[in-house]
Amino acid sequence: MERLRLAQLSDLHLGACLSGGKLALPQAKAEKRRADHRQCLTRFAAHVRETRPAAALIPGDLFDSTEPDIDDLNFAINTLNAMAPVPVFLAPGNHDAYAPSSCYNLHSALYQSRGSGPKWGSHIRIFTADHFESVPLPGHPAASVSGVAFHRHLPDTQRALIELPRTSQDGIRILLFHGSMENYPRAGSDREVLPFTPAELERAGYTYAAVGHYHRGGVIAGERGGVLGAYAGAAFASSLSDEGAGTWLDLELAAHEPLQESALHWHRCDDRAVHRLQMDVTGVTDTAALSQRLEEHLAAAKAGPRDLIHLTLHGRIARGVPLDLRQPLAERFFHAVVDDSQVEPDYAVDLSAPDAKEPGLAATSEDLFVWRMRQLYRQTPSEDERARIKEALYYGLDALTLGEVHLR
């Protein structure tokens, strides 16, 4: 019985801007990440050359745009060409959507303008049509690959797999496309493209669907639990929302056996990971306790020195405990961002409590201040105004009790 090994990589987003967003990488680190970015594709190509799978599958968003810059394009072509003779199948995604101007169109001005730039090798099959096309898998007469290019967003009512003929063929039938499975548990905030349900996929009767788009890898399971396909996940973590990204996928198919989850193996492609941590500082009353809590969070996330850390602090911090975690984190990790804008000082003041009598002559300035702020808070109907009053209360209390104001 024929068995096929496959390697799958997608959503590399080569050419994506790496210095913006909430990770706020400074120029020098963004430069380092640009090198890491290319290294991911180089690493995958080396893996393909070494392990010689029956095919390398790239279901979309290899580039971050339809018209990448020439240097990125030439780099990608050179790297994919180095995978020969292993056949490479590529289905454009929503970011590198197929269009007449596409780098995937051999007649586009971009492709033609590169002078002596490298050409897509003959072992690379790029699906450019907006409907599924099937081609035999070279060297494996009983296996075929059916792919489609993403061209543009369609109304939800148009289903990705609607035109797909139900196949009753024998042999191994591989599907390749960039699409969003409905209710995918690791979907994140990615926009919907070529939507499908596992039931639709199951009805189509293919052996395996290599699907791109979602940046967190995972299995596409049928209603009875069988494995219908998988997302490899984004090969590179380019932004804060790419927590869990940075993987490619190896798998092995057999013609007449149901695919088991144990036949799928995700590998690290990006050797740095993004960790998005949330930490409640409530109840912390000294810096040693704060460090200890942080260590627990870092250990739970398995954060290593090469990684990128984004830490959001929330809750109430006891008075006088300094929250300077940025510097110690920046020294230990490749990059660290700390957002403490949600932390509130631990004052036992309830602004929405009913009006009390005006404090008497024995009252402290603090009592008077709180009484007046509570009045203002209760009088305004505006949510924004209330948030400002709350801020002003904390600043005022800091000034009155600590004698200094910490900008938050």
Per-residue binding string, Mn ion, 44-63, x by CB under 5 A, is: -----------------x--
8 lies in the site for Mn ion, by CB under 5 A? no
Interaction residues for Mn ion, span 285-314 (CB under 5 A): none
User: Cis before residue 85, ω within 30 degrees of 0?
Assistant: yes
Q: Which is nearer to Mn ion, 60 or 345 (CB)?
A: 60
Q: Which is nearer to Mn ion, 11 or 398 (CB)?
A: 11
Cα–Cα distance for residue pair 64/10, rounded to 1 Å: 11
Strands (E), 281-396: 308-317, 335-345
User: Any residues with CB less than 8 A from the CB of 104 and at least 6 apart, and which?
Assistant: 90, 92, 96, 98, 120, 126, 128, 149
* Contact present, 227 and 220 (Cβ < 8 Å): yes
Residue among 41, 210, 49 at smallest CA distance from 123: 49
Segment interacting with Mn ion, rule: CB under 5 A, options 20-28, 33-41, 47-55, 92-100: 92-100
Q: Which is nearer to Mn ion, 36 or 96 (CB)?
A: 96
179 lies in the site for Mn ion, by CB under 5 A? no
Interaction residues for Mn ion, span 202-241 (CB under 5 A): 213
Alpha-carbon distances, residue 398 vs 316, 320, 384 (angstroms): 14, 9, 21
CB of 343 to Mn ion, least distance (A): 35
Choose which of 93, 147, 246, 345 interacts with Mn ion (CB under 5 A).
93
> Residue 317, Cβ neighbours under 10 Å: how many?
22
Residue among 124, 80, 86, 125 at smallest CA distance from 6: 86
CB of 56 to Mn ion, least distance (A): 19
Residue among 338, 284, 332, 331 at smallest CA distance from 310: 338
CB of 203 to Mn ion, least distance (A): 24
CB of 95 to Mn ion, least distance (A): 5
CB of 61 to Mn ion, least distance (A): 4
94 lies in the site for Mn ion, by CB under 5 A? yes
Buried b (16+ CB within 10 A) or exposed e, 394-404: bebbbeeeeee
**Residue sitting closest to Mn ion (CB):** 213
Q: Which is nearer to Mn ion, 274 or 393 (CB)?
A: 274
CB of 216 to Mn ion, least distance (A): 12
Residue among 150, 254, 258 at smallest CA distance from 194: 150
Q: Which is nearer to Mn ion, 91 or 137 (CB)?
A: 91
* Contact present, 53 and 16 (Cβ < 8 Å): no
Q: Which is nearer to Mn ion, 93 or 229 (CB)?
A: 93
Alpha-carbon distances, residue 205 vs 175, 261, 309, 310, 359 (angstroms): 10, 18, 43, 43, 77
Size, binding site for Mn ion by CB under 5 A: 4
* Contact present, 69 and 61 (Cβ < 8 Å): no
Cα–Cα distance for residue pair 200/220, rounded to 1 Å: 12
Segment interacting with Mn ion, rule: CB under 5 A, options 15-23, 90-98, 222-230, 281-289: 90-98
CB of 231 to Mn ion, least distance (A): 10
CB of 230 to Mn ion, least distance (A): 15
Q: Which is nearer to Mn ion, 87 or 244 (CB)?
A: 244
CB of 96 to Mn ion, least distance (A): 9
Q: Which is nearer to Mn ion, 93 or 345 (CB)?
A: 93
Q: Which is nearer to Mn ion, 153 or 203 (CB)?
A: 153
- Binding residues for Mn ion, rule: CB under 5 A, are 61, 93-94, 213
